[in-house]
Chain A
Amino acid sequence: MTTVNLPFIDKYKPKTLQQIQGQSLALQELRTAVVSKKPALLYGPVGSGKTASVYALANDLGYEIIEINASDVRNKDAINSIIGSSLQQMSLFAKGKIILVDEVDGIAGNSDRGGVPALVELISAAKQAVVMTANDPWDSKFTPLRKVSRLIEFVSLSPQVIVSFLQQICQQEKIQASEDVLKKIARKANGDLRSAILDLESLGRGTLTIAADDVALLDDRLREQSMTDALRLVFKSTKPQETLQAFERVDADLSEVQLWVEENLPREYTGQDLYQGFTSLSKADVFNGRILRWQHWRFLVYINTLLTAGISLAKQEKTPGFVEYKRNSRILRYWMAKQKRLKLQGILQQLPGTMHGSSRQLMKEVLPYVRFMARKNKQFSFGLEKEDLLYLVK
């Protein structure tokens, strides 16, 4: 075998519709839609084979695919310039074309202003089949899309289907794994064949047998693993240019990357390096704000550069030692703090006599004193329920 180094996920990509299991109804509908050049919206859970089916079908039919995915620019101008021209003309070599708009969920209400109407417009003008994929097509912003396209459902894959696919891979790769082990992987994947294949690969590469215990090691850490590898490259590398692509293979968008960098920067850098690093982050965030304001998505290039080479260059020399990276919990803390504030505001409102004044002022100017009194003197219970009083005092 010479193709050993291809990741399983690419190596075992279905070449024809026949290799796709568990979706026979959807595949039939998809084929009909594409052949009759009707726009179709494929929906269903992650890893159920939506995108793979389109590629396999194109292969079967000898069609060419023009793909746009979520990471591409999605507002009206961008869609027009990317696929507008290709829709009108016929293909030179292929027998036909499929315009694949992957993950339309990525079109956000605000940030991709005009994205949905532009798609609808292009679908109606299209001379070729337009196929879109989505995880949840029922969002109200997709109503216009649903009206003009045929909805085709991809079901969540059953563990049996996943196991049988994994068995084929094991056979080809000469990996020894009991059916029990494969079932465990399949169950964990929860209908997502892609993640099952990734799991199998991370367990099976290099070893020839997978024991039952190995599966227990598998959890969501795998996804974090690729993130921490990328972070390590950025923080440790002394060749900034090498880091530019660091996050490309990570399954996370730049705003998530930014949170990871933010959380772990002070674990790697100190002093001047720390300052420089945060300057880079701060500038990246300014570009973020500009993207939101002006819809100029090309600024993403600068954000990526600031988050990779910018961070990498911030250090004067290579930082020694191994550092454990942590997940950023800031967003969660916002939420928890809000719940806590709401609860405390509720308690303040129960104090005897109508409490006047804005609740912000009450929180700032009254709460600390009420808390102090309740802590110091049991008589000061203010007629509050025991539970509320305890919450206040703690």
Chain B
Amino acid sequence: MTEQQADHQLWIEKYRPQTFAEVKGHTEITKRLQAFVEQKNIPHLLFSGPAGVGKTTLSLIIAKTLFGDNWHHNFLELNASDSRGIEVIRETVKDFARTKALGTELPKIILLDECDALTKEAQQALRRTMETYTRTARFILSANFSSKIIDPIQSRCTIFRFKPLSQEDIKNIIMNISKREGLKIDDKTIAAVSTVSKGDARRAENILQSCSAISKTITEKLVYEIVSAAHPEEMKEVLQLAVQGSFIQARDKLLDVMLKHGLSGEEIVKQIQETVWDLSITDQAKMQLIEKCGEIEFRMVEGSDEFIQLEALLASFVLAKK
């Protein structure tokens, strides 16, 4: 291995498929999208599905295939959850869509990520924007859950539902990278990586690259070590602290987790409710706590300070019987 090897690029970018042929999995979706591109007629698209299955990658491939070298000028990637408010999006889209695409008669392409993070009102505004610029730009909306997208938008888009990648797809990705990077990995470890990545190619690639930072020979143990370092069971720790009666530490850690990941109160309640089953308390207590989660989620909708509601929820864990 030469020093050149440390090209410092993240594998998730280095091994991102550049053509339809390179895409692993999603055979049906890829075929249909390819047909759109060949007919040079892209409708508005809605990609729904979990993270790391190829929604952004396929959007990029569409743009690259359509526009060739000019793709950069004719493709805009926006983040609904970052841009904070539809106004910003509308202005950016307006500026981008006002001019015709470079070197082609085709409409430009705008990828709007995390559309389910937009409020209903923002989505209405987005719908109008989509209609206004439909001659000069086509939208690819990406969302984790299509159910959070309002009907008027859904009816204007061709919807593609992405499933998590299959174990086989992930395995192919791992083998391809291992070969090109000179990694030593046995079948058992490949199976471990594909299990922990839960159909998310990005996670599988990140795990592999992290392993390679330590050793070229990848073991099962190393994989698990990395996963628990990258995704610690923070919520479980929070709830265990509360059950033990260390309320102040529990709430401190809860706030930490919430702020670190920028989670909303609703997302936290969801995580808590999923984690309740992993606690060592009686089943009756678990059931009561889950009911409490629902009550708190309801109060959160009615109330004004999410964290106070979360603390109230946490306080009920203090009473849980072992």
Whether B213 contacts A376 by the Cβ 8 Å rule is yes
Q: Mark B42-61, 1 if CB is under 8 A from A, else 0.
A: 00000000011000110010
Most chain A beta-carbon contacts within 10 A, residue among B10, B82, B200, B319: B10
Most chain B beta-carbon contacts within 10 A, residue among A272, A369, A377: A369
Q: Which residues of A contact B261 (CB under 8 A)?
A: 363-364
Q: Is B202 an interface residue (CB 8 A)?
A: yes
Q: Is B77 an interface residue (CB 8 A)?
A: yes
Q: Is A69 an interface residue (CB 8 A)?
A: no
Binds A, one of B25-33, B274-282, B310-318: B310-318
How far is the CB of A392 from the nearest CB of chain B, in Å? 13
CA distance A365 to B56 in the complex (A): 15
Whether B206 contacts A361 by the Cβ 8 Å rule is no
| Given A282-B296, A361-B51, A365-B51, A356 contacting B203 (CB threshold 8 A) | no
Q: Is B121 an interface residue (CB 8 A)?
A: no
CA distance A369 to B12 in the complex (A): 11
Whether A365 contacts B309 by the Cβ 8 Å rule is no
Q: Is B179 an interface residue (CB 8 A)?
A: no
| Given A282-B296, A353-B13, A372-B230, A334 contacting B259 (CB threshold 8 A) | yes
Whether A275 contacts B259 by the Cβ 8 Å rule is no
Q: Which residues of B contact A337 (CB under 8 A)?
A: 259-260, 262
Whether A266 contacts B251 by the Cβ 8 Å rule is yes
Q: Which residues of B contact A57 (CB under 8 A)?
A: none
Q: Which residues of B contact A258 (CB under 8 A)?
A: 305, 308
Q: Which residues of A contact B230 (CB under 8 A)?
A: 368-369, 372
| Given A282-B309, A368-B231, A358 contacting B79 (CB threshold 8 A) | yes
CA distance A270 to B304 in the complex (A): 25
A residues 283-299 touching B (CB-CB < 8 Å) = 283, 285-286, 288-290, 292
B residues 1-55 touching A (CB-CB < 8 Å) = 6-10, 12-14, 16, 51-52
Whether B316 contacts A275 by the Cβ 8 Å rule is yes
Nearest CB to that of B261 among chain A residues? A364
B interface residues, how many (CB within 8 angstroms): 60
Whether A369 contacts B210 by the Cβ 8 Å rule is yes
CA distance A120 to B200 in the complex (A): 60
Q: Which residues of A contact B255 (CB under 8 A)?
A: 330, 333
How far is the CB of B6 from the nearest CB of chain A, in Å? 5
Q: Which residues of A contact B79 (CB under 8 A)?
A: 358-360
Q: Is B299 an interface residue (CB 8 A)?
A: yes
A residues 214-258 touching B (CB-CB < 8 Å) = 258
| Given A356-B16, A358-B114, A380-B8, A282 contacting B312 (CB threshold 8 A) | yes
| Given A282-B312, A285-B303, A363-B261, A354 contacting B13 (CB threshold 8 A) | yes
Whether A365 contacts B262 by the Cβ 8 Å rule is no
CA distance A368 to B6 in the complex (A): 19
Q: Is B105 an interface residue (CB 8 A)?
A: no
Q: Which residues of B contact A372 (CB under 8 A)?
A: 210, 213, 226, 229-230
Whether B82 contacts A359 by the Cβ 8 Å rule is yes
CA distance A272 to B247 in the complex (A): 12
A residues 270-323 touching B (CB-CB < 8 Å) = 270-272, 274-275, 277-279, 281-283, 285-286, 288-290, 292
Whether B247 contacts A274 by the Cβ 8 Å rule is yes
How far is the CB of B16 from the nearest CB of chain A, in Å? 7
Q: Is A382 an interface residue (CB 8 A)?
A: yes
Nearest CB to that of A353 among chain B residues? B13
Whether B245 contacts A270 by the Cβ 8 Å rule is yes
CA distance A116 to B222 in the complex (A): 65
Q: Which residues of B contact A271 (CB under 8 A)?
A: 245, 318-319
Q: Mark A45-76, 1 if CB is under 8 A from B, else 0.
A: 00000000000000000000000000000000
| Given A352-B8, A356-B60, A279 contacting B312 (CB threshold 8 A) | yes
Q: Is A206 an interface residue (CB 8 A)?
A: no
Q: Which residues of A contact B318 (CB under 8 A)?
A: 270-271, 274-275
Q: Which residues of B contact A379 (CB under 8 A)?
A: 6, 213
Q: Mark B172-214, 1 if CB is under 8 A from A, else 0.
A: 0000000000000000000000000000101100110110011
Q: Mark B110-154, 1 if CB is under 8 A from A, else 0.
A: 000110010000000000000000000000000000000000000
Whether A288 contacts B304 by the Cβ 8 Å rule is yes
Q: Which residues of A contact B92 (CB under 8 A)?
A: none
CA distance A267 to B251 in the complex (A): 12
How far is the CB of A356 from the nearest CB of chain B, in Å? 5
Nearest CB to that of A283 among chain B residues? B299
| Given A270-B245, A270-B247, A377-B214, A278 contacting B303 (CB threshold 8 A) | no
Q: Is B81 an interface residue (CB 8 A)?
A: yes
Whether B259 contacts A333 by the Cβ 8 Å rule is yes
Q: Is B162 an interface residue (CB 8 A)?
A: no
Q: Which residues of A contact B311 (CB under 8 A)?
A: 262, 278, 281-282
CA distance A370 to B16 in the complex (A): 17
Nearest CB to that of B113 among chain A residues? A358
CA distance A262 to B319 in the complex (A): 18
Q: Which 6 A-B pairs have the closest CB atoms?
A: A337-B259, A368-B230, A282-B312, A369-B206, A289-B303, A278-B315
Interface residues of A (CB under 8 A from B): 258, 262, 266-267, 270-272, 274-275, 277-279, 281-283, 285-286, 288-290, 292, 330, 333-334, 337, 341, 345, 351-361, 363-366, 368-370, 372-373, 376-377, 379-383
If A377-B213, A382-B9 are given as contacts, then 10 extra A-B residue pairs at C-beta distance below 8 Å, sorted by A number, are: A270-B247, A277-B315, A285-B303, A288-B303, A289-B302, A330-B307, A356-B77, A366-B202, A369-B210, A369-B226
User: Can you list 23 residue pairs at the A/B interface with Cβ under 8 Å?
Assistant: A258-B308, A262-B311, A266-B251, A274-B318, A277-B315, A283-B299, A286-B302, A330-B307, A337-B259, A352-B7, A356-B56, A357-B56, A358-B80, A358-B114, A360-B117, A361-B114, A366-B202, A366-B206, A369-B207, A372-B226, A377-B213, A380-B8, A381-B8
